[in-house]
Amino acid sequence: MLKKAGIRLLALAAMVFILFIAQAQTQEQGWKKTITLPSGEVVCDLNGEWDSLWQGRGEYQTVGRLRVAVKITQQGNSFEGIRMHETPRFAKGSVILTGELDKYGFKKVLFQGGEVSDSLKGKISKDGNKIEFEPNSNYYFDLTRK
């Protein structure tokens, strides 16, 4: 009798632990829009139009601040962002971002700035509607979903 009660208590503790882990993972992502990959991994859905803010720093400070609309298309965990308007340096339809996602956010991101391509580290907000990239010595860059 005592042995059965111990087994039941252990089974109950295991169920509570599993539910706690599942809840913690759900809260960690918390994105409004997600895509489930064939592997079962869930990633943020970045598809859509975004407003970007690009601000030059250092030698690029003369460029100032640029606001550019970006359309992101995503295939599985890979994405590409294109400029929706022409800017003084870049044509409409040119690539501004490429990258890959994983269940924690970005696996890698590459900013395309003409002859220069920079690897970025970024963070997707909990609701999935804002992306803030770590500034580097040349510029600051972020995206906000329209």
One digit per residue, pLDDT tens: the chain, 146 residues? Answer: 666 655 665 555 555 455 455 444 444 568 989 999 999 999 999 999 999 998 878 777 777 777 889 999 999 999 999 999 998 788 999 999 999 999 999 999 998 876 667 888 999 999 999 999 988 777 888 999 99
Count the residues in the chain.
Answer: 146
Give CA–CA dist 98/129, Å, rounded: 18
What is the C-alpha radius of gyration for the chain, rounded to an integer number of angstroms?
21
What homologous superfamily does CATH list for 42-145? Quinohemoprotein amine dehydrogenase alpha subunit, domain 2 (2.40.128.120)
Proportion of the chain in helix, strand, coil states, percent, rounded to 5: 25, 45, 30
**Start-to-end CA span in the chain (Å):** 62
Residue 49, beta-bridge partner list: 71
Question: Quick count: other Cβ atoms within 10 Å of Cβ 95?
Answer: 15
Task: Give the H/E segment covering residue 130.
Answer: strand 130-133
What is the pTM for the complete model shown?
A: 0.74
